[in-house]
Structure 1
Amino acid sequence: MPKPNKNEKSRELDDDYEVVSFEEFCDKPSNAKTDLLSLNDNINYRIYYESLKLPKDGSSSNIEEAFDREIEGQKETSLNGPKGGVYTKYQRFSQRRTTLQRAWEQLKNICPGMLGVGLMCVLCVAVWLVVGGTLGGAWTEDKYRKLWQRVHPENTERPMTYYEMVVPEVHYHDHNNLSTKNKFNGSEGSRKTPLDDEKYQRLMRPKPIQVPTEAPETAKYLKRTPEMLRNMCSNVTDNMRFDCYPQTGANEEACLKRGCCWKSTSIQGAPYCFYPPNYDTYKFYNMTENKRGVTAYYALNRPSGYPGDFRMVRVDIMFVTGDIINAKISDAENPRFEAQYPEIPMVYGSIKTMKYKMVLESSSIGFKVVRLSDNVTVFNTQNIGGLILSDKFLQISSLLPTNQIYGLGERRARFRTVLNEWKTFTMFNSDQAPVENTNLYGTQPFYLALEPDGKAHGTLLLNSHAIDVVLQPTPAITYRTIGGLFNFYMFLGPSPGDVVSQLTEIIGKPFMPPYWALGFHLCKYNYGSLQVTRDVWKSNRDAGIPLDVQWNDLDYMKNGNDFTYDDVKFKGLPEFVKELHEAGMHYMVLFDPGVSAAEKAGTYPPFDKGLEMNVFIKNSTGQPFVGKVWNKVSTVWPDFTHPNATMYWTQMMSNFHKKIPYDGAWIDMNEPSNFVSGSLYGECAPEELPYTPHYLTNGLKHKTLCMDAHHYAGDHYNWHNLYGLTEAIATHFALVEIRGSRPFIISRASFPGLGRYAGHWSGDVDSSWHDLRMSIPELLSFSLFGIPMMGADICGFRGNTTVELCKRWMQLGAFYPFSRNHNSDSSIPQDPVSLGAEVVSSSRTALRMRYSLLPYYYTLFWRAHLHGELVARPLYFEAYFPAGYWYSLDGTLLTSGWRNVTEQHMLAVKNDTMMCDIRVVASCLYKSRQRAWCQRVSVARALYMCWPHLTAAQARAILYWDDGLGLQTYDESKYSLVHFILDKQEFRSELQWWAYGMPTVNKITIFGQKVPIKNVTINQKPCKKPNCEFSYSSNSKIFVIFNINLRLNEPIHIQWMLQEKLKLTELYLIKALTIYIYNNHHQLTIHLH
């Protein structure tokens, strides 16, 4: 540490003069000869060195000269002296001066005369007291002990109390430094410390008890005969069975030993071994309350049958907002790993209106949450199943008020899950192509429950370990996990949209995409060369396919190594990217997290720099953990929890961006995936799980890293499911630093909160009709998870597509929020041009319609970013379809009435027809003019609006507009916002904010107008050529006002008169649209709101 500036008289004593910081001083023995900087001086001293941009170790050869140049101008008011006094900054005294000399010099600078003498007397008394205290031994032991404890809190044996919250060791968190999150450097088991009886008695105050090895109630259960247990369990119905022995090898003897019921059943999935009523694993101990929540403690009452039972359990209930409640169940004695992402916002202030009540009673185990408006219990764990809390197995069950839920991903299944049978889902991020009945790329332990009366609520479990969710027809849900703690968030709704909005208040609102990302994307694994990439891009562009983003997969890299490109096969890639940019288009590249570990030293900076910065995940010996992915020989993985990792990742991406100016990042293989199960060299430590999650029979290390691989912030056992999210956070930060505009990231792995930083695609789907259909529930599920930028690989990834399949998939995929055609290296080319004229024609029509809707999509994403609303919405969010005229978006009348449509109802259409009905609720659809081949062209086109009629008095819509790139355009008020209102026979606009230009409105179409129009006025002026025209079709009932070119920065007021007296008409306004695609017996539906 460099020395502060001293007087010239004391310069000769530099050799024996040492100045240290407060922290360094506390680390030294009490007899060390050291001059301690005051806390204020220490802070100013650090700030001063940083302002000079000099190293704190004083290594600069010009440091003394720098101080000589700057010291005279650096004056500041001392916080320790009179308000009028000033000291030379960092001026210190030599050791040769006495205390009186020092005091006199200080007093000369403060004030002369009697005031100075008086202060000197006070200072002398203070010095005498300090010296006396030191000689008396007060400082030599107690003071230094306190100082040492302050600097080393992790080594201080602090008294524990059941009224203090157990917090992670690291309290401070820097948003861009993942290392400051929950730094656990050991396994779950190693965190437990023995608890002797004396300490346990102290923890029990003011009501001391001692938990015996075997609680009395446990002995009673164990002494009961099988016959007694059968009588006790006879009243448990089949639907109320909660599995007491979920491991393999269940038998009657083992079941009875746990004090559980054993009875066979013919119901598939129902357990033979189940809990008796009121299975009391724990007993209530005490409880405290405050305005923001309740804290309760439970003492262990019986052994669970799993090693490492929590002897004392803490339940924290926090009232987050009036419609969000948090329940955390943890070990009261030992810190547990807690998922530190997503970042949960702090809540301040009082809650004015509570929409729920929380019931926690001493007579039962657990709690329940009740919605006040209808007295519905949305979550009830009181004496339900068995509450099991142990080191590597935790289980809790809850009754549900409905048998219909949505969510719980990532998995391949129908969108709605009906609780009519026993089902088990596993959540553990895995490199697994989408198929039914297995865990996939992401972990999303959130469900939305739709109640019989249409109200909804939701529950999120924040736990980063492998999770099993068991659903049963009670209806009930059981959570099982292999580590950490239970951290639940319940969302009271009451509408489905409210639930998702409340969810994103906790996990973060979705990111605002750049406008160009809403265009069509084109990619293929193994184009093989730049020439093929260019030919595919040019041929589709020449065919009139609207296209905004060209991608390259892994094959652009040299030897599959990140941050390189093949300068032979892809020679000229920088020039090609420049050509894309000049055409108003964009370029995306793939980044795998795995870095090659076998390159020659000095030839591959990503590996060399990673070693230098110490950022790779370690094995049990402290060396970089080595596996194998796409790199030729071996792979290491960056540890995104390391304090240097974000800097490292940003530097690598920045260096590559200087070569290839890419516009966004595709982060793949980040579960993380590993081609070997565990380490390439050596063996993984035994996992020793008392319970293996349902689909993980090959072990946790299957196709990934060893669970004992070590991150800076803890073992991979704890961080596995968070790896993809931490990479997305680092990538998001890097792109902001590199490009200075909105990042666009697509990630394969996911965890709650990913939508704040990145989008997602559904992975390696098959080229099949089944996978086309299943892409819809996958899309809608991720909408519920707060990740609206989502889509599937159009036409499929694995296997060869067909002309008919790809044509229909392009028609569907044109309306995915994330719309990309992509397939594997072993499949035939499937871009529209490669499959022929039929696919080109249908793709062009569908994509032109998409591009005409981009202003609408953009506003929906803004609403999602601001309010947590959905972009792609399931039908039940807006049910029901009303009676009236339905139209296709091209203006064709679909039906003149309405009818009940069943699942078997077939509607004959032309072979090449894509049918889109206009969803009829109060809003409007604004479109840009068609025939734009990229979004830059479509942005420049005029808008036109579609307004179907509805029997409501008034309808409203909004349009948001900005530059499409800025990082904080809304926060910095660099946007425009206009409201539109349709009220009977008039249309008007209301300007809310104007700071960025909008396209003009050229055309307004009103569907379902039964009565002909007599005349039209715009802003009190008659509609006449050439500035305005209108038309009406009595066959289609469509009324059009066109060639108006109205500016939106001024109010618009349009009125019309009818040719005959207005009868009761139907005014329909678009709020969402439903796209139907028919092919023989295949009927597929996507609902876009």
Structure 2
Amino acid sequence: MEAKYRNEGDGVVTTNRGRVEKKQTNKRCCIAVGVIVVLIIAAVIGIIVYFVEFHNKQPESEAVKATTSLPPSQPPPGPVQAAGQRVDCLIDQVVKTETECKQRGCSWDPNAADDGDKCSLYQSADVGYKMSAQTTNDSITLLELSWDGEKRSLFSKVEDIINNIKLEIKELNDNTLQVTFTDANNPDRYKVPIPLNIPAFSAKPKLYETLWSKNGDKFSLKITRKSDNTVLFDASVADLVMENQYLSLSTKPPSKNVYGFGENLHKSFKHQFKKAETWAMFARDQPPGQDSKQHYDNLYGVHNFYVCIENSGNAHGVFLLNSNAQDVTLTSGPMITYRTIGGILDFFVFTGPTPMNVVQQYTALIGRPYMPPYWALGFQLCRYGYKNTSDIKAAVERTRAAGIPHDIQYADIDYMDARKDFTIDPVNFADLPEYFKELRANHSMKTIIILDPALSIQDGYQIYPQGKQKNIFIKWPSDNSSAICDECADEENNMLGYVWPDNRTVFPDFFKDSTKQIWKEWIVNQSRELEFDGLWIRPGEPFWNLKCDMSHSLENPPYKTKACHIYADELRNISDKTLCMVAVQGENDEYNHYDVHNLYGWSQTLPTLVALREAVGNNKRGMVVTRSTFPGSGQHAGHWLGDNSANWQHLRESVIGMLEFNLFGIPYVGADICGFFGNTTSQLCKRWMQVGAFYPYSRNHNGIGYIDYYLVYIVGLYPSIYCRTTTLVYIVGHDPGSFADRSVAELSKSSLETRYRLLPYLYTLFYKANTYGDVVVSSLQFQWPNDDAVLDISEQFMWGDAILFSPILYENQTRVEVYLPEGRWYDYYTKAAVDNIGKQHINITVDSNSEIPIHIRGGRIIPTKHSALTTTQSRQTPFTLMVALDSNDEASGELFWDDGESIDTTTSSCLVKLLQQISM
């Protein structure tokens, strides 16, 4: 490995050749007013008591706050960084004051336009980590960094500063490198225990070059693209911070065309970098919000990965592998600041150079997406609030009567006895097993049931003692000093809390082999009583309610991440709505929940898939869908975007979520069609069904208590199901067959029929995702990264590189603006070519009964089949080809085909290359 010095402005850096990188009080002496005030006070006290008991609010004596020891410091005269490139010293505070800023030894700028720029970390050339030594070989560079100068800390005690850092830069291959910051004096410090597919070293010429500061100089690091010297990863813009419970690094991306980070609710696919925005990353049972503050909440999973499209049209990606609670702050610089409260800083940089290359390189590392069975691409129907099997039957029958394709029917938690896993309600759902068999035998349909990880400790429920015997549950630390209430632990020191079942519950620890084995046994035994084809798991964040000892540093870390700023402006605890952070997990209790919280859903997914496949047998793939995800989850499961609401905003944002999860390596994704919370409307549900028909995971689902008895069928509308009568009929649900407005069912039917015709193409896209790491749903940015007109588009999406969808996403919308990039395009419905050749905005007039605009890209061949009520029936129809010629009168395409459900079909499948060329 050859090293050399290179001058960059006034600084000197070392380069390793071949390596790149947010009163009026009107008192009245009136008895009536006094009574009202007393009543209000009583109500407030009652609410407070409720939250104390059930929402993890601690008694004052228990909520002992950790103290922060900060050395006295004379604040510097002012910030030295430009606006938008400052690191916020008061990022953990809702209200920022000059006094507190100066107490932290930071620079105060009262005139800063952006609130995130007012109090900033003072960057000193003489204080911080400096390069002290380096060692290199063919593919690995080891750099030693040591703290130099006066020690100061924003959030921790000064003694918590990590004095010596080992920086390891690994060239993994020609397009990927790893940059890891660890504690040189503590090699056993927690690291994320997920398997990665680290590529073998390649001697191919590298696309990147890595530059770092020379010995004795303050630390800086840059990774550049060799072909044009674009700086992809610039860590010289702000000080590196490494403390026991606070780690921070800032980087400067080469453009503001950044996509990714999650799981959050983003208003646009492209991040804006207009003001400081901080996105929380800590898995929570946090439904998507609707106001501006809730948009920054973390939702159910954690994906610290982004793709950046550079000004040249090239693309790169950056992934931070860290499973502790963390934040990402984007400022106008542009600058990206990472903050986490544990573990190490382990970055991977993917140099593309195309956006698709970046995702391929990322999924090569974390694991390729799983191949869903063909039937999993069919339409799915669910409801939380089916009162009995008859409710499920009615939903299925009215869907079929409307001619709406329907492949999969769900049973939510309602089917269980007292919400206990592996049980069936003996009164309301005793006939569910027979009905599921009937759906399979008579209608070629599939069934899915829900399983929750939380298991009841109720007397007589055999799952609990079986699990105790195998020692599978998450525990308090061995000394039990943190269990602050008698009801929080059982005799084996298992952690107890409350969630869905009526009694207290325990959580299985899926880091244990014994847990995986007994979980499989329970699922297989359940399948013998109630046959199913897939499993739906949640709440794997995990979601729980119990009391935690707030005097412990793991429960009350010195830095309050954005995840603690929930419930409006109130600062809460990191353990709210989940397990206590001191909980121990692993074969030998080697992990604290503090470190592996974000991995719970990930850890449950593979054992569930393994168990499912044994339960269904016959070498079938089965299907698992999960709510909580982490990088790598897409290898084993799909994901739905959580408990959204029935409103137009969430309809629009579902498109963004779908695009983002394709970046994250989880392309089998979709939102609850028509919304989970709230009462939908016929117009909203109609438009949502039109969009949801083209989610990879297409499921209509809603919550309990909404439109429970919605007026729908008028006399004789569907005489095959409902007898003619002079009375009106009321039913449960907001499935598409349940509306008095018949256009909901009619447009749902036509949109889903279009989907079913196109399923051979969609299935082929999943094959390419599984084999090569391609996205299934693509943004326009991915296909035309050099076209500035597409960089901000959030409301159009594509299947692969051939089919463009421009949905109707606004209430009472009468016009859809469609951008057609370069090339020839065809209207899907009329098959007519669009006038002119691409790079144009066209306006399409729509009315209440219009289909959503769909266009086919010239030069593509799309395999299709006839639509039917199920995929089983559709697969039996002949293939047809839709040939869309480009301006050269040429077209090509692919078709992957197998039996649609076997695990390994390499010897019984085929991949057909399609080519059409017309010679004039």
Normalised to the residue count of structure 2, the TM-score between the two structures is: 0.78
**2:82 aligned residue (237, 257, 273):** 237
Q: State the Cα distance separating 1:684 from its structure 2 match.
A: 8.1
Q: State the Cα distance separating 1:542 from its structure 2 match.
A: 2.8
Measured at CA, do residues 545 and 758 of structure 1 come closer, stay the same or move farther in structure 2, by a change above 3 Å?
A: same
Q: Does the 8 A contact of 2:417 with 2:425 survive in 1?
A: yes
Specify the alignment match of 1:717 in structure 2.
594
SS at match of 2:251: strand
Specify the alignment match of 1:915 in structure 2.
852
Note the alpha carbon deviations across 1:706-760, whole angstroms, 9 max, x for none.
1111212411101110000000121122122322321311111111111111111
Specify the alignment match of 2:172 in structure 1.
320
Note the alpha carbon deviations across 1:671-730, whole angstroms, 9 max, x for none.
0001x2546xx8884523111012413111111111111212411101110000000121
Specify the alignment match of 1:756 in structure 2.
635
Pairs within 5 Å for 1:330-409: 330-362=182-214, 363-382=217-236, 384-409=237-262
Residue identity opposite 1:787 in structure 2: I
Note the alpha carbon deviations across 1:506-533, whole angstroms, 9 max, x for none.
1110000011100000011111101111
Residue identity opposite 1:267 in structure 2: A
In the aligned structure 1, how far is the partner of 2:127 from the partner of 2:171? 27
Q: State the Cα distance separating 1:379 from its structure 2 match.
A: 0.3
SS at match of 2:172: strand
Measured at CA, do residues 403 and 575 of structure 1 come closer, stay the same or move farther in structure 2, by a change above 3 Å?
A: same
Q: State the Cα distance separating 1:809 from its structure 2 match.
A: 0.9
Matched, 1:869 2:869: no
Pairs within 5 Å for 1:727-766: 727-739=604-616, 740-766=619-645
Measured at CA, do residues 780 and 337 of structure 1 come closer, stay the same or move farther in structure 2, by a change above 3 Å?
A: farther
Q: Does the 8 A contact of 1:279 with 1:385 survive in 2?
A: no
Pairs within 5 Å for 1:944-955: 944-952=880-888, 954-955=890-891
Residue identity opposite 1:388 in structure 2: V
Note the alpha carbon deviations across 1:208-247, whole angstroms, 9 max, x for none.
xxxxxxxxxx99xx99x76xx43xx565322332234544
**2:270 aligned residue (398, 416, 434):** 416
Q: State the Cα distance separating 1:319 from its structure 2 match.
A: 0.8
Q: Does the 8 A contact of 2:128 with 2:218 survive in 1?
A: no
SS at match of 1:238: coil
Residue identity opposite 2:851 in structure 1: M
Q: State the Cα distance separating 1:805 from its structure 2 match.
A: 1.1
The higher-RCO structure (CA 8 Å, 6+ apart) is 2
Matched, 1:626 2:485: no
Q: Does the 8 A contact of 1:448 with 1:496 survive in 2?
A: yes
Q: Does the 8 A contact of 1:617 with 1:624 survive in 2?
A: yes
Q: State the Cα distance separating 1:668 from its structure 2 match.
A: 1.0
In the aligned structure 2, how far is the partner of 1:609 from the partner of 1:416? 49
Q: Does the 8 A contact of 2:828 with 2:856 survive in 1?
A: no
In the aligned structure 2, how far is the partner of 1:952 from the partner of 1:451? 30
Measured at CA, do residues 661 and 389 of structure 1 come closer, stay the same or move farther in structure 2, by a change above 3 Å?
A: same
Measured at CA, do residues 768 and 475 of structure 1 come closer, stay the same or move farther in structure 2, by a change above 3 Å?
A: same
**1:891 aligned residue (810, 818, 830):** 830
Pairs within 5 Å for 1:163-178: none
In the aligned structure 1, how far is the partner of 2:126 from the partner of 2:401? 71
In the aligned structure 1, how far is the partner of 2:339 from the partner of 2:102? 21
Q: Does the 8 A contact of 2:192 with 2:322 survive in 1?
A: no
Segment of structure 1 superposing worse, 640-649 or 815-824: 640-649
Segment of structure 1 superposing worse, 809-818 or 824-833: 824-833
Pairs within 5 Å for 1:818-967: 818-828=697-707, 829-836=733-740, 837-879=742-784, 881-882=820-821, 886-893=825-832, 895-897=834-836, 906-930=843-867, 932-952=868-888, 954-967=890-903
Q: State the Cα distance separating 1:280 from its structure 2 match.
A: 3.4
In the aligned structure 1, how far is the partner of 2:274 from the partner of 2:779? 22
In the aligned structure 1, how far is the partner of 2:501 from the partner of 2:79? 60
SS at match of 2:135: strand
SS at match of 2:604: helix
Specify the alignment match of 1:1028 in structure 2.
none
Residue identity opposite 2:627 in structure 1: R
Q: Does the 8 A contact of 2:172 with 2:201 survive in 1?
A: no
Matched, 1:299 2:146: yes
Note the alpha carbon deviations across 1:828-871, whole angstroms, 9 max, x for none.
21112111422111111111110111100100000000011011
Matched, 1:437 2:296: yes
- Figure out how many residues of one structure are paired with residues of the other and give that number: 751
Measured at CA, do residues 528 and 257 of structure 1 come closer, stay the same or move farther in structure 2, by a change above 3 Å?
A: closer
Specify the alignment match of 2:14 in structure 1.
none
Residue identity opposite 2:891 in structure 1: A
Q: Does the 8 A contact of 1:295 with 1:316 survive in 2?
A: yes
Q: State the Cα distance separating 1:304 from its structure 2 match.
A: 3.5
Specify the alignment match of 2:18 in structure 1.
none
Segment of structure 1 superposing worse, 813-822 or 937-946: 937-946
SS at match of 2:271: strand
In the aligned structure 2, how far is the partner of 1:356 from the partner of 1:644? 45
Residue identity opposite 1:891 in structure 2: T
In the aligned structure 2, how far is the partner of 1:347 from the partner of 1:437? 35
**2:474 aligned residue (617, 623, 632):** 617
In the aligned structure 2, how far is the partner of 1:326 from the partner of 1:953? 45
In the aligned structure 2, how far is the partner of 1:897 from the partner of 1:953? 15
Q: Does the 8 A contact of 1:404 with 1:449 survive in 2?
A: yes
Specify the alignment match of 1:694 in structure 2.
562
Residue identity opposite 1:588 in structure 2: I
Segment of structure 1 superposing worse, 737-746 or 837-846: 737-746
Matched, 1:787 2:666: yes
Residue identity opposite 1:287 in structure 2: Q
Specify the alignment match of 1:640 in structure 2.
510
Q: Does the 8 A contact of 2:192 with 2:321 survive in 1?
A: no
**Could you say what the CA RMSD is over the residues aligned between the two structures, in angstroms?**
2.3
Matched, 1:454 2:313: yes
Note the alpha carbon deviations across 1:490-514, whole angstroms, 9 max, x for none.
1111111111111101111000001
Q: Does the 8 A contact of 1:513 with 1:743 survive in 2?
A: yes
Q: Does the 8 A contact of 2:856 with 2:884 survive in 1?
A: no
Q: Which runs of 5+ in 1 are unaligned?
A: 1-217, 986-1061, 1063-1089
Specify the alignment match of 2:111 in structure 1.
265
Q: State the Cα distance separating 1:251 from its structure 2 match.
A: 6.3
Measured at CA, do residues 298 and 490 of structure 1 come closer, stay the same or move farther in structure 2, by a change above 3 Å?
A: same
In the aligned structure 2, how far is the partner of 1:501 from the partner of 1:490? 13
Percent same amino acid at aligned positions? 34
Measured at CA, do residues 906 and 984 of structure 1 come closer, stay the same or move farther in structure 2, by a change above 3 Å?
A: closer
Pairs within 5 Å for 1:433-832: 433-435=287-289, 436-582=295-441, 583-597=443-457, 599-600=458-459, 603-620=460-477, 621=480, 623-674=493-544, 676-678=545-547, 685=552, 687-696=555-564, 697-712=571-586, 713-739=590-616, 740-828=619-707, 829-832=733-736
User: Who wins on radius of gyration, i.e. which is larger?
Assistant: 1
In the aligned structure 1, how far is the partner of 2:779 from the partner of 2:126? 40
Q: State the Cα distance separating 1:974 from its structure 2 match.
A: 2.3
In the aligned structure 2, how far is the partner of 1:871 from the partner of 1:883? 21
In the aligned structure 2, how far is the partner of 1:964 from the partner of 1:549? 15
In the aligned structure 2, how far is the partner of 1:724 from the partner of 1:979? 38
In the aligned structure 1, how far is the partner of 2:437 from the partner of 2:80? 74
Q: State the Cα distance separating 1:279 from its structure 2 match.
A: 6.0
Note the alpha carbon deviations across 1:577-636, whole angstroms, 9 max, x for none.
111221321100000100001x22xx3222121011010111232611111111011111
Q: Which runs of 5+ in 2 are unaligned?
A: 1-69, 290-294, 481-491, 565-570, 708-732, 788-819
Q: State the Cα distance separating 1:250 from its structure 2 match.
A: 6.8
Q: State the Cα distance separating 1:378 from its structure 2 match.
A: 0.3
Q: Does the 8 A contact of 1:557 with 1:565 survive in 2?
A: yes
Measured at CA, do residues 351 and 885 of structure 1 come closer, stay the same or move farther in structure 2, by a change above 3 Å?
A: closer
In the aligned structure 2, how far is the partner of 1:803 from the partner of 1:477? 42
Residue identity opposite 2:332 in structure 1: P
Specify the alignment match of 2:161 in structure 1.
309
Measured at CA, do residues 339 and 922 of structure 1 come closer, stay the same or move farther in structure 2, by a change above 3 Å?
A: farther
